[in-house]
Each structure stands twice: as structure tokens, then as C-alpha cells.
Structure 1
Amino acid sequence: AALAAPGGVFASNADAAMIAWPGDGVFNNPWSNNFATRDDHRMSQTLMGVLFANNDPRIPIYAQPTVNDTTVSALFPNYAGMPNGLTQATASVYFNDTSRPGVIFYPGATTYGTFGNGSGKSTPSYYMTYADVAFIEAEAANRSMGGLTPGQAAGFYTAGITSSMQQWGVAPGDVITYLAQPSVAYQGGLAGLTQIDLQRWVALYGDGGQAWALWRRTCVPNTVRPGPYAIINTVPRRFEYSITEYSVNANQVAAAVARQGPDVFQTSMWWDKATAAPTYTSGCGVRQ
């Protein structure tokens, strides 16, 4: 029904729902504010692995070169991701060998150096992008939902990738080269559905909550797993209720827990039916 709504859906990047931060020192992009004093953020090895696998031209936008010479990809030397789920002691040894997030999120001058020209203060925060809508349409078409047909999926898929690249400032020629790769060209069927979910996950960079929700629903990419020092052996499916919620709303918390199951990270949300998803793979989200 939403796809056929009278007002239509997003049709270009100009339609994106976002917060356009002034970057005036009072209202800055939150990542920029955080990075001004904290230097313990590094790119995830999981995301970087997906980007490297497809020679993704968003790598130098999403990430910064490493301090030390670190070659994981010959096409993108000196970019690398850090393993997830480390302790402070085990993470610190990676800091100079792995990439910070891209300068597009940095305020320029920080307490530990200067990164970029300060434009990160005004980088928008996106609630929903045209790329995300296009990938939703691509999935609907692939699965013959919402009045769409599988024959339309490739067009929506290509539009999703292209608009994401444009959103992040990738050169047009690099977009064409990327789309021409056999690993990226739309395959249709279940393989195509996996491609759609993977590209949508990559395009959601900067919107971790939505990317997490997408992964919980699809298990794509299936390389998302707990790190070696994670306190549980599975990727969390939800947040636990806070102490405050228990103290001021105990009756409703108890009622919710009775419906949904134990108040632990492993209990799925009501919409989280990953094991029933066509793209689900055995052992999804479990530490190996």
C-alpha cells in the first residue's frame, strides 16, 4: 500500500529525510562532536570486508587511510577494519593499523590532530534516503510484493546503488565501473535478494540502528558475528529494558516480558523472524 500511496515515494536524493546540521559549533553532526575528543573509533572489519570484496569506491569516503602501512586490498592500500568485540586492551594494538571513519564526519581540528577541513560538522544525519527506498522497492519486486514484479527488481537495485554512491560523492565513472562487476550485477532470484539486502546494508552506513534491524530481519551479511571478547555468543537481537523502566513502569515491563520472552539480549523482537527469511543461513549471528 505504501508503494502505491497517492503522494508517491522518494524518487531522488533530493527527497531524503534528514537533519541538515548548521555546523555552527552549537548544532553539529553528533558524530563530529564525538570525534572531536574521542579517538577510539575505528572501522569494523566486517563492513570493510564487504567493501573490499566488491572494490567499493565508497571506501575512501567511509574510511580514512591507516596511520601505518596496512595493505588488505591492493586497490585500496592502507585501509583496514578492526575486529569487533574486543576489550580496550586488545583493541588498542589495532589503532594505528586500522581506519578511522571518513573525514566527512570529522570536525577538522580535534584534541588528537586535524582531520579534514571541518565540513564534518555539517554532514547531514539521514533518517531515510532515496537509496533505502529503492532497495525496499527492489526487495518488494524480487518477492512479487506491493504490485511489483521480479522483472522490475534490477532497475530498483541499480537505482539504489547509484543513488547511494551519488549521496556520498562517488565519481560517475566509478559508479559505472562498480556496477559492471559480475559480483555486483543483479542476478535475480534468491541470489539477487541477497545482493539487494547486502547493498542496502552497506548504504545504511551512518544509520547503525536501521542497519542492525535489517540484519536481524535478513541475516545479510552472514559475516556479522560476536567478537572474541563479547559477553554472549550471539549477536544481540534487542536491547534489554533499563533499570529506570523497571523502577517507573514495572507492571508494563512484566506484561511485555510475559508476551515476548525473557528480558535478555537473545530474545527477538516481535518482527524479527530471521529464521524464516529466504536469505537466512544456518548459524547466523553465532560466534564460531
Structure 2
Amino acid sequence: MRTLSITLVATLLALSALLVSCTGDFKDFNTDQTGITDEDMKIDFNNLGIPLDIIQQGIYFNYDFGKGKNWPFQLMQNLNADMFSGYMHDYKPLNGGSHNSDYNLQDGWNGTDWGYTYAYVLPQIKKLEDSTRVVYPSVYAVTKVLKVEVMHRISDIYGPIVYTNFANTEGNYRPDTQQEAYDAFFRDLDEAAGILREYAESRAKGPDISKFDILLDGRPISWLRFANSLRMRLAVRIAMVDPARAKAEFLKSAFDKAGVFEQPSECVRVSTRNGYQNPLGEINRVWGEAFMNASMESILTGYEDPRMELFFEPCAEDVERPGDEAVVALKNRYKGIRQGTCFSHFLYASHSCLYVNQSTAPILMTAAEIWFLRAEAALRGWTAEDPGTCYREGVVTSFRQWGADGSDDYLQSERVGADYRDAFDPANDIAARCLVTPKWEEEASHEVKLEKIITQKWIALFPEGGEAWAEQRRTGYPRLFPVRINNSKDGCIDTETMIRRLNFPADIVDTDAPLYERLVEAFGKPDHAGSRLWWDTGRNF
């Protein structure tokens, strides 16, 4: 038993003041800001290795750009997508307790995905594309796959992006609408897959990039399977807004004899073998600022999910509540923090932190995700596969990936999410929202079946909050707890509908007003966090 002391801790607001404005005049993004010289690139295939390293580190951003590591990731993902997805929450009362958690969105945090991607990652992609297109086609194809992986994440946060016109020689940086961007993503995957397929089938030799490849193994067949799997992800994303295109793109991957990820060992992870460190691990283990979200507590404890003890740690001790010295029984329990309560104390530091440490390879894609994509495609009638079979394969694959036992019993479970009881403030209590069971039910409606698929997919995606948030917005599943207090500007975010996107970086208005105007025009809706993206239709069938 212990009493938590309330101490002054430096918050990320101080760090965000250090943030260089990376979202300035867009022509500046044509100037490489990494500081790498042409001479550096001539040694030991560094012309391939250095850009690949920066790009792969930049997906789950932990590139050492001379201004410190880890805190950019906290701003870029952990304090938005990781929280909005229902996965995590910080225990600190940042900004006095009112910030992204209660939709008082912090522009200094939310522009970082855009700024750092365009300043550091996309220039390296462009450089590698240009230098490999003719002389190293296999590396060019890998670069194309990486480009789609990097930029679909940015588009799924903001909507329109500068993609096809990035580094335009005529200075025309016209943004792509999200529909145009997705069309370009599919074209780039077509081109990449064609090249990789030729190399894989002919066993042609390209440069050996295995020592530079920190996502896979450098082999064309592995990258082809990644390209096919990524196409499936993006195809299902547009299932409601463009169903004919979605089905056609999905079937390209389904019928490709190279296949997609299927086995538990087939994961796209950012390897830590070459010195990369997991920024979430630093935030979690060293800073102590990543904890279980209340929605995650409700679903995992309600389901008695065996993966819970692999995702999170139980509370270490009971806690004496300040004021009345009442003992709050927490030891060995799994407890999460509800989003949007504007708490102004540090008591939630007693709750469940994550399993992740600095040497944990961050997960970008798993075979379980692909099985759930196949389950949804089958449910929509795109394929002749059985939705229930694919669903069960997804659950079993996730269990095996994590080394969890009991998948057979779990798949027969009729348990539902648990009510949330706040450890310190009963005003934050809320009844369970997730009322579907893990057990597949053939007689259930398509909507209920989809809810089961996406709920299990959400669990299997952990801890990759970016993809989890995108799928939760697209489908509405799993059913997360709404914020208790909604401080969105002018009430632009509906409490029950929840946050739909991040607005374009605020400093673009001042530094590049013409670009901002073009972005808003391409979006076609008010530039606020309550506006739905192109693929976010608000319906599932």
C-alpha cells in the first residue's frame, strides 16, 4: 500500500515549445533537412541504406534528427491515435487536465505527424525513388511500398495530402483529395508488386538490402506479400465509399499466387537489432506515461481475455486516497483511465502500464489483421471464403502470435464487456458499451458479425493505435467509452460520434496560406476534428 505523492512533473507543453515549425512554406520540404551529404551516400551502399533507415524509422517515428528522440512520437501518435483508439491514456494532468483527452486539441501536438513526415521522411522517399528507379528496380519497388505505408497513415489522420505533386519541379504542390490519394496508393502498389513479382519469380538478383531492412528480411517475396496485405487493408478501408473499387483491389491480392500474411510469425515489425529503440517503450518504461485505457479495461476484463496479461501489467499496490485515507484496492487488478475526465491529480499512476519496453519491436501489421480483413471481405460477399472461419483464424493467429493459451475456449465464450468503475471518482463510472461476445454466431445479423470481427481485430492490432483508430472511425467498432467532458472548439466534435480526424496544422495558415486554402478546398468540409474523412461514411452496409 502506498500514497501517491503529487509532484510537479515537466509536461509535453514545454517540449512542444521546442518544436521547430516543420509545416512552413511547402517548398522548403524539397530541401533535405536530414543533414546527410552526397559524400555520405557513396560508401558501402549508403545511398540505399541511409534513406531506407530513415524511412523505416520514420513510420513509427524515432529518427534521431538532432532534437531528441521519443517525445516527437508522443506528440505524433501516443497523445492522439493511441488514445483516440481506446488503447492508452497518460496519467498526468497535462495542460491542467484539459488537452486532446477532452477534445481541447493542442495544435502544437497535432501538427507533428504532418510536419515531421514531410520534413524528414518523404524527402528520403523521393530521393530513393529517383536514385533507384532505373538502376535498382527491386529497391525502387520496396520504396514504393514504404511510401504507401507512410503516407496512408498521414492521409488517414488529416484527409487530403500532398502526394502525387510532392517535390513538383514546377512548384505546383496541389494537394490530392483523399480519394485521389488512395487511387495513387493503389497505383503505386500495382507498380511495386509487378516489379517484386518479376524478381521473386525469376530469382533475379538485386542489391542485398537485408542488412538495411528493419521491417522484413530484404527478400522480394516478403515485400510482395507485404504489398498484397497492405492492398487488402486499404481496399477494405474504402468498402463503403467505393465498394466496386474496394472489391476489385481486394481480389488482386486475394488471387495473387504470392499470397498475403497468414502465419502468426508473419508480422511487419520495426526491428531493434540495428539500434532503433521503441519510442513507446521509452514513454512507458522510463517516463511512466503510457497506461491502459478504460475501454481496453472494459473489453479485456469483460472477456477475461488471456492476452490482457501479455499486453498490460497489473497494478502493483493498493493506494491510500488523499483526504480520507481510504484504501483503494488495486493490487493485482488491471485498471485503465477513462478519456475526457479532466482530472487534475496523479493518482492514476497506480494503474496498469503496458508491456512495451525500448527493445520491443513496434508492430505495424500482423497476419491476424489480414485474417480479419478476409473475414470482412467474405461477409461482404467479395470472396467465397466463410466469414466465421476467417474470423476464428484471426483470433487463433493473434493468440499464437502472443503466445497466449485458451483460444478454443475463448471462441466459445459468451462474455461481454465489463462496466467501468473509476478507482477514485464515481462520476467517471460508465456501463459497458461493448456487448458482443467472442463466440461467432451464424444466425447473427451482418452488423453484429461485423462488430465481432472489428472488435477482435482491434484487440489483435494492439498496440498499433494508428490503424486501430482508423478502423474504429470507419466502422464505429469496438464501441468505446465517450469522453465525459467535451471541450472541443465550438462544440465541433460530437461526444457520441467522437473525434473523426485531426485538423490541418494551424501554422500552415500563417506560413503557407495558399497551401492551406488548397487543402481545405480538397477536403470539401470544415477543417475541424468533427468532420468525417472521405472513407468515413457513418454506415457499414
Whether contact under 8 Å (1:64, 1:79) holds in the other structure is yes
Aligned match of 2:535 = 271
- Counterpart of 2:375 (choices 118, 125, 138) is 138
Q: Indicate the SS of the match to 2:377.
A: helix
1:255 aligns with 2:510: no
Structure 1: gaps (5+ residues): 107-120, 279-288
Deviation at 1:138, TM superposition (A): 0.4
Superposed CA offset, 1:104-131 (max 9, x none)? x13xxxxxxxxxxxxxx32221221100
Give 1:34 shift. Answer: 2.0
| 1:10 aligned to which of 258, 261, 265 | 261
Contact kept, 8 Å, 1:16 with 1:130, in 2: the verdict is yes
Aligned partners of 2:283 and 2:290 also within 8 Å: no
Please, which of 347, 350, 360 is the counterpart of residue 93 of structure 1?
347
1:144 maps to amino acid: G
After alignment, is 78-87 or 134-143 more displaced?
78-87
- Calculate percent identity across the aligned residue pairs: 25
Tell me if structure 1 keeps the 8 A contact 2:272–2:359: yes
- How far did residue 77 of structure 1 move? 5.1
Q: Secondary structure at the match of 1:13?
A: coil
DSSP 3-state at the match of 2:265: helix
Asked if 1:126 corresponds to 2:363, the answer is yes
Q: What is the CA deviation profile of residues 222-273 of structure 1, one whole-angstrom value per residue up to 9, with x for unaligned ones?
A: 2342243654543211111113433454323212313431111101111111
Q: Which residue of 1 aligns with 2:439?
A: 185
SS at match of 2:344: helix
Q: Which residue of 2 aligns with 1:154?
A: 388
Say if 1:68 and 1:78, in contact at 8 Å, map to a contact too: no
* 1:24-79 CA distance string (max 9 Å, x none): 7x42112112234312322001111011121100111111111334779xxx9511
The answer on whether the counterparts of 1:140 and 1:148 sit within 8 Å (CA) in structure 2 is: no
AA paired with 1:65?
P
Question: 1:226 touches 1:233 (CA, 8 Å); kept in 2?
Answer: no
What does 1:219-230 correspond to in 2, within 5 Å?
A: 219-228=476-485, 230=487
Equivalences, count:
249
The one of 30, 35, 47 aligned to 2:296: 47
> Closer, same or farther in 2 for the Cα pair 1:176/1:228, shift >3 Å?
same
TM-score, normalized by length of structure 1? 0.78
* Correspondence for 2:232: none
Equivalent residue number for residue 62 of structure 1: 311
Higher relative contact order (CA 8 A, sep 6+): 2
AA of the residue aligned to 1:187: E
Using the alignment, how far apart are the partners of 2:312 and 2:361 within structure 1? 17
Contact 1:58–1:165 (CA<8 Å) still a contact in 2? Answer: yes
1:168-218 CA-partner distances (Å, limit 9, x unpaired): 2213xx222212213312113322221001100111111111111001110
- Equivalent residue, structure 1, for 2:243: none
Amino acid at match of 1:148: A
Could you say if the C-alpha distance between residues 21 and 7 of structure 1 is closer, same or farther in structure 2, counting changes exceeding 3 Å? same
Distance 2:392 2:480 in 1: 24
Offset at residue 9 of structure 1 (A): 1.2
* CA distance 1:49–1:144, shift in 2 (3 Å): same
Q: Contact (CA 8 Å) 1:236, 1:265: kept in 2 or not?
A: yes
Q: Letter of the 2:384 partner, please give it.
A: L
Q: TM-score, normalised by structure 2?
A: 0.43
Q: Is the 8 A contact 1:260 1:269 kept in 2?
A: no
* SS of equivalent to 1:252: helix
Shift of 1:277: 1.6
SS at match of 2:286: coil
Residue 6 of structure 1 deviates from its aligned partner by: 3.4
1:78–1:139 Cα change, 3 Å: same
The answer to whether the Cα contact below 8 Å between 1:194 and 1:220 also exists between their aligned partners in 2 is yes
* Counterpart Cα distance in 2 of 1:89 and 1:218: 33
1:157 CA displacement: 0.6
CA distance in 2, matches of 1:177, 1:63: 21
Larger Rg: 2
Question: What corresponds to 2:464 in structure 1?
Answer: 207
